[in-house]
Structure 1
Amino acid sequence: MGVLGALARHMDALVGPGIMLLYPLYASMRAIESPSSLDDQQWLTYWVLYSLITLFELSCWKVLQWFPLWPYMKLLFCCWLVLPIFNGAAYIYETHVRRYFKIGQYVSPNYNERQRKVLQMMSLDARKSVERFIESHGPDALDKIIRAAEEEAKRA
């Protein structure tokens, strides 16, 4: 086997840094500059998952030494997370993480019950915009919008 055998045995060390670090770094920088938030979700989720894998490896390194296929399994999993054809990180976020973590559900008690219900249904970005609207136009302006939306819903 010679050279090919040596390359195959060390595939994780040769290809791994490019797939697990360099390409995600480049794609993350592109995502920061793009106006879309979809690629931000993909790459932020990737870095969270990669950090969890790294913490797992650091915590369990003595056990993982007994599994010679671990580096290759990690490489395959990271390929699935990274490669645009799969978008594995975004898939994991959509199917698993989003279900269990409702980050940002807290709304200040300064708002009345109706306003809190509306704000809790919004994404964090939309909520920030609405809170800026309330600061500049007052809480009564939001109540007018909510009433108008309710009346429109009744007519439909």
Structure 2
Amino acid sequence: MGRFWTLMTHLHSLAGPSVMLVFPLYASVMAIESTSKVDDEQWLAYWIIYSFLTILEMLLQPLLEWIPIWYDIKLALVAWLVLPQFRGAAYIYDTFVREKLRKLGVSTKPRTTLASSPSKEKEKNKFVDFISPKKGRHEAY
């Protein structure tokens, strides 16, 4: 039974970085490369909210140390933000952040896309080719 709990502890330790960083990083790159603006908004909202959560966590660290299940609560919250079935990050941004920005007088009009010029498109394609090699292309080492 001891090995089972050791395995579960290691899986739990890997779940946080996977859910909070690895999957959102991958999904963000795929969102940039897609033609849909909806997924771009979801992932930009995720990084805004995740950054705010991280800063808040750093500031409240002495208090959060007294909550033994804080990491589990944070993991569940971030999973809700990340999972495409819920679109939690976009919901939080639309409901709370955008309203605060409007009250402060900040314009929340849609902006033009970053890849409007051919040179930007080439740069973006180079990055994607770098991180995702083409199928069938094998290089000898």
TM-score scaled by length of structure 1: 0.63
1:12 and 1:72 in contact (8 A); partners too: no
SS in 2 for 1:101: helix
Q: Distance in 2 between matches of 1:93 and 1:55?
A: 17
Residue 50 of structure 2 corresponds to 50
Matched, 1:71 2:74: no
Alpha-carbon shift at residue 8 of structure 1 (Å): 4.1
Residue 131 of structure 1 corresponds to none
Residues 58 and 10 of structure 1: is their aligned pair in 2 closer, same or farther, counting only changes over 3 Å? farther
Q: Kindly provide the CA deviation profile for residues 80-132 of structure 1, in whole angstroms up to 9, marking residues without a partner as x.
A: 00011111001111222222213327xxxxxxxxxxxxxxxxx3437xxxxxx
1:12 and 1:75 in contact (8 A); partners too: no
- Identical amino acids, percent of aligned pairs: 47
* Alignment match of 2:111 (pick from 100, 104, 125): 125
Q: Distance in 2 between matches of 1:50 and 1:4?
A: 31
Matched, 1:38 2:38: yes
Residue 20 of structure 1 corresponds to 20
Residue 62 of structure 1 corresponds to 62
Alpha-carbon shift at residue 59 of structure 1 (Å): 1.2
**Structure 1 stretch displaced more, 22-31 or 59-68:** 59-68
Alpha-carbon shift at residue 74 of structure 1 (Å): 0.3
How many residues are matched?
Answer: 109
Q: Distance in 2 between matches of 1:8 and 1:61?
A: 25
SS in 1 for 2:46: helix
Structure 1 residue runs without a partner (length 5+): 106-122, 127-156
Residues 63 and 11 of structure 1: is their aligned pair in 2 closer, same or farther, counting only changes over 3 Å? farther
Greater per-residue helix proportion: 1
1:64-143 equivalent positions in 2, closer than 5 A = 64-102=64-102, 103-104=106-107, 123-125=109-111
The higher radius of gyration belongs to: 1
Aligned-pair RMSD on alpha carbons? 1.9
2:101 and 2:107 in contact (8 A); partners too: no
Q: Distance in 2 between matches of 1:59 and 1:2?
A: 36
Structure 2 residue runs without a partner (length 5+): 113-141
